[in-house]
Structure 1
Amino acid sequence: MEMIIGFGFLLLTFIGVFLLVKANKKDRKTENKPQEVVAPPSDCCGAHEICEFDQMKMNESVIEYYDDEELDAYKNIDEDSYTNNQIEQFREVLYTLKTEEVKYWLLSIERRHIQLPTILKSEARMLMAEA
């Protein structure tokens, strides 16, 4: 009898996990709405993303926020001085970004005089490599 109850519990657990995974995939599909395709300007060199990034790098007055205004509280804090909770705040923002946004976000926090925690630098590099 105990074996049947254990098997039933195990079966319900697998069904629950399956439904959660399926619901998560459905949520991702609705989040990834198709983006409007815009033709590049006629004077574009074909490396549009690189040119756009270079232009942003040259204009230091441009600071773009990525729903991360709370990180401004960490201005001028050394990259090795963050607490675990503060590191998790950075990590939460980092992993909500699209891979192509990571380099822009890094530039944004640099311009805001916010240092990325040391432990997250390799994670950010790995995410940028996926782009």
Structure 2
Amino acid sequence: MNIIVISILAIVALGVVVMIGTRIFDSKGTDEPIVVPASDCSSCDGTNAKCEQVCQMEAATKPAEYYDDEELDAFRGRQSDEYNDEEAAMFAEVLETLRPDEVRPWSRSLLVRGINMPDQIKDEFIALAEG
């Protein structure tokens, strides 16, 4: 009977020691504020939808950036499936002259300007944006 009582007291004592140690360890970590690193839109890689959404909203508040593509403003308001091949080629020409780091911002620029990208070049855009 004494062994059972001593065993129970030892388990309770061990539990108290673990609880005190856990509270001391946890309280040390809460003194420092959690710092969330600031990110900018250049770090969005397409895997984080929230980052992309924030960047889209940020881009909408800034003036449109042009990539030597002012002639595309004539297509403002047109649906993506309403372009003929010749018109889509105008977009493809601009797309193919962009540096890799300009592909996504160019898409944002089109959106801000109210221009829908033609369906004919969307596959090429995706390939370049992901590459």
- Bin for the TM-score computed over the shorter chain: 0.5 to 0.7
1:85 positional shift: 1.2
Which amino acid in structure 2 is aligned with residue 89 of structure 1? M
Q: Would the alpha carbon gap of residues 59 and 127 (structure 1) be closer, same or farther in structure 2, given more than 3 Å must change?
A: closer
Per-residue CA deviation, residues 9-36 of structure 1 (Å, 9 max, x unaligned), is xxxxxxxxxxxxxxxxxxxxxxxxxxxx
Q: Would the alpha carbon gap of residues 59 and 84 (structure 1) be closer, same or farther in structure 2, given more than 3 Å must change?
A: closer
Instruction: Give the TM-score taking structure 1 as reference length.
Output: 0.58
Match of 2:129 in 1: 128
- Asked which structure has the greater CA Rg, the reply is 2
Task: State the identity as a percent.
Answer: 34
Structure 1: 4+ residue segments shifted above 3 A? 45-48, 51-57
* Whole-angstrom distance in 1 between the partners of 2:55 and 2:76: 24
Instruction: Give the TM-score taking structure 2 as reference length.
Output: 0.58
Question: What residue ranges of structure 2 are gaps of 5+ in the alignment?
Answer: 1-36, 45-50
RMSD: 2.6
Per-residue CA deviation, residues 40-60 of structure 1 (Å, 9 max, x unaligned), is xxxxx4855227975574242
Q: How many pairs align?
A: 88
> Where do residues 1-131 of structure 1 align in structure 2 (5 Å cutoff)?
45=37, 49-50=42-43, 54=54, 57-62=57-62, 63-130=64-131
Question: What residue ranges of structure 1 are gaps of 5+ in the alignment?
Answer: 1-44
1:112 positional shift: 0.7
* Whole-angstrom distance in 2 between the partners of 1:72 and 1:50: 28
Which amino acid in structure 2 is aligned with residue 91 of structure 1? A
